[in-house]
Amino acid sequence: MKDKMPKDVHQLLLSSEEEEGKGQLEEEVEDARAPKGPFFTPPVIVALVVVGLSLLGLIIIYSSPTLSEQFSAMLSGELGKYKEQLRKIREDKIREIESLTSNKYGSLALFYSPRDARVTITEAKYKLDCSKAKNEDEQLQCLRGRVDYSQTPEVREIDNPSLHLDRSKKEIVEQIPLNDIPIQEASEDRKQVFRYEYTIKIEADGYYPRTFFITGDKERPPVKDVEMLFWEQKGPGVFMADFRGADLMPKPETAKENYKKARMDMVCIDKEVEAKRKAGKNISEDTVQGLYLELINRHGFKTFDEWNRIDSDLRKDEAFFKQLEKELAQAKSQCR
């Protein structure tokens, strides 16, 4: 009877171990069915904050070329070398700023003829304003720029002895020394640079005036009706302009007497050359021209161009030239 117990009933009679396992399984099922706790627990929140800050940091780093380079250098183990390069780059910028804003002064000696001429020296002061620069890069870019010469400069006249001569007493000036005149100066913060240019006009009664213009900017737009000179650095802190003197060209009326004397001397040269050539001596035209140049120099004419200009102007004075022809004829008969 016992052996004939139905199989279904036997399955219902579980051992104690099987009963215990069944209990655990039911508990796990109940736990799974129970309501879950909150997902954003403090550890989860902390983890999310860390991840978010990390992502934000990476975005900031890679959006900045400098931070990106520094981060890459750190990852490659060359952060020290990178910082040294940055230090050197900044030092180079500072040195260039100091060079572009350094104070510069020049020296010049004005000598000219006639020595009783009046010399007017005018100083123009231009400003390069970089005060709006926010950092060294912007300041450097501004300082590398050019002065705006369309601005109205500060202007002043420089006093000199030629303006105070008593010409009735035949007072003269040997030369006018200009020592340590400013070429460039800068403000203390090196954000404003002042550049100076000079106009020098030399004039005398009976002579054509000459005007010189001196600047330190070789790329400056040309100035009309002047002879431009540039400051050249001749040594550490030494700047000079290539001024070679200014001999004023006389006007025709002023040159009449010297022209007449030179023409009379030329008559004698021509007579002597003609006599020697007739005697069989070979005297070239170059030799004759050399004698002429020495002669006109002696009478105050510096070049043949100056001589020819005066000659052309005086020939327009018919009365003067007619009288000169008579005097030249007499002078030829008196030549030795």
Range with top average pLDDT, 42-51, 90-99, 208-217? 208-217
- Asked if residue 135 is part of any domain, the answer here is yes
Q: Which two tokens stand for residue 63?
A: 């959006």
DSSP helix/strand/coil, 224: coil
User: Domain end: 231, 248, 265, which one?
Assistant: 248
Which amino acid, one-letter code, is at 158?
I
pLDDT tens digits for 302-315?
A: 899 999 999 999 99
- Asked if residue 8 is part of any domain, the answer here is no
d(CA 154, CA 158): 13
User: Domain end: 194, 226, 248, which one?
Assistant: 248
- Asked if residue 67 is part of any domain, the answer here is no
Q: What is the pLDDT of residue 334?
A: 82
pLDDT at 73 over 90: no
pLDDT tens digits for 102-148?
A: 999 999 999 999 999 999 999 999 999 999 999 989 999 999 998 99
Domain that holds residue 301: 251-334
pLDDT at 21 over 90: no
DSSP H/E element including 110: strand 104-110
Strands 112-113 and 246-247: parallel
pLDDT at 36 over 60: no
Residues facing 126 on adjacent strands: 195
pLDDT tens digits for 180-194?
A: 999 999 999 999 999
- Asked if residue 320 is part of any domain, the answer here is yes
141 and 207, same domain (yes or no)? yes
d(CA 132, CA 30): 74
User: Domain end: 248, 268, 297, which one?
Assistant: 248
pLDDT at 1 over 50: no
232: left (phi over 0), alpha (psi -120 to 50) or beta: beta
CB 200 within 8 A of CB 110: yes
317 and 234, same domain (yes or no)? no
- Asked if residue 9 is part of any domain, the answer here is no
Work out how many domains the chain is built from and give that number: 2
Question: What angle in degrees, to the nearest 10, is found between the helix axes of 304-314 and 285-298?
Answer: 70
Q: What is the pLDDT of residue 44?
A: 59
